């Protein structure tokens, strides 16, 4: 994939079982130098141990331009160049319950603070990191944004999360045009159903509130949802997301920019 010797910054990559770490492993297989970043450095040792390659952990706030500018400057000074930015930082959305008595989803039941937290963590992270790193990004480089299939249609029960991720899709297309004169390509991946910490928490909530799941483990609940929802019949993995991110960043995608692809086993086309 022509990535040997390239320097890749991946935000939100601190957790070893998360999407960011899976993306890092895919880039490492192609010989890239990886900078994994996160707000909290406590899981870094396990994450670094899971990546077979040249990896450097750095603590930084993806939603803060000053923090990311300092991080990117340190990475550039240490390694000589930055070639790819992967905007992966984000959090899962609070699921709003269906109100059977009112026969509606309480769309407006979310507080201003909860709404703002979703947009800060899932949209501003992409904007702020891009604004901070792009001035240091090599001409001809690449930005890969990680959104969600929640961005591609009505996200029932996830109004703020879906809106934030839809904003990532829009920002991807805008940046693709703005950065084209520098030959910097900007593309987006929309993951589907992955066994992450956010899904484990959601499954625990379903176990408590839905009688049909009461005797299942969280993992079993997830597998039932995957079987019901995915035409290809299987869950997605962090490496599935990483493989597309690697392609986007490589010379094989040299004429691809502003594109949004769902890695979801067909969920978004049902």
Residues of the chain with CATH 3.40.50.720: 7-194+236-269
Average pLDDT, the chain: 92
**Pairwise CA distance, residues 113 & 110, whole Å:** 8
Looking at the chain, the whole-number percentage of residues with pLDDT higher than 70 is: 94
Kindly state the average pLDDT of the residues 91-106. 61
Tokens of 79: 């390694």
**Pairwise CA distance, residues 22 & 13, whole Å:** 8
- Angle between helix 125-133 and 65-79 (nearest 10): 40
The catalytic residues are 161
> 7-194+236-269: which CATH number, 3.40.640.10, 3.40.50.720, 1.20.1530.20, 3.30.300.30?
3.40.50.720
**pLDDT of amino acid 194:** 96
Tens-place pLDDT, residues 178-236? 999 999 999 999 999 999 888 888 899 889 888 999 999 999 999 999 999 999 999 99
Kindly state the average pLDDT of the residues 54-59. 96
Q: With 90 as the cut, is the pLDDT of residue 159 above it?
A: no
CB 218 within 8 A of CB 207: yes
**Window from 91-105, 187-201, 247-261 with minimum mean pLDDT:** 91-105
CB 161 within 8 A of CB 92: yes
Q: Locate the DSSP E strands across the chain.
A: 7-10, 33-38, 54-59, 82-87, 137-146, 185-191, 260-263
**pLDDT of amino acid 101:** 47
Q: Backbone dihedral region of 12: left (phi > 0), alpha (psi from -120 to 50 degrees) or beta?
A: left
């Amino acid at each position: 994939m022509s990535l040997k010797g390239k320097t890749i910054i991946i935000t939100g990559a601190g957790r070893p079982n998360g999407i960011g770490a899976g993306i890092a492993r895919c880039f490492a297989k192609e010989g890239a130098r990886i900078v994994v970043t996160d707000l909290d450095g406590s899981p870094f040792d396990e994450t670094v141990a899971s990546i077979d390659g040249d990896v450097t952990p750095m603590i930084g706030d993806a939603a803060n331009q000053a923090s990311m500018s300092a991080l990117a400057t340190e990475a550039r000074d240490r390694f000589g160049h930055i070639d790819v930015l992967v905007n992966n930082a984000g959090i899962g959305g609070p699921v709003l319950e269906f109100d059977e008595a009112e026969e509606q989803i309480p769309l407006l039941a979310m507080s201003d603070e909860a709404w703002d937290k979703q947009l800060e963590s899932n949209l501003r992270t992409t904007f702020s990191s891009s604004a901070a790193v792009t001035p240091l990004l090599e001409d001809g480089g690449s930005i890969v944004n990680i959104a969600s299939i929640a961005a591609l249609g009505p996200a029932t029960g996830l109004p703020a999360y879906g809106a934030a991720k839809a904003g990532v899709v829009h920002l991807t297309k805008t940046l693709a045009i703005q950065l084209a004169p520098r030959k910097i390509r900007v593309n987006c991946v929309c993951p589907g159903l992955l066994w992450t910490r956010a899904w484990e928490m959601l499954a625990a909530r379903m176990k408590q509130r839905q009688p049909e799941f009461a005797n299942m483990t969280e993992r079993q609940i997830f597998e039932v949802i995957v079987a019901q929802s995915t035409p290809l019949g299987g869950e997605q993995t962090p490496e599935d997301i990483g493989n597309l991110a690697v392609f986007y960043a490589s010379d094989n995608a040299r004429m691809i920019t502003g594109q949004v692809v769902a890695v979801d086993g067909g969920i978004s086309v049902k």
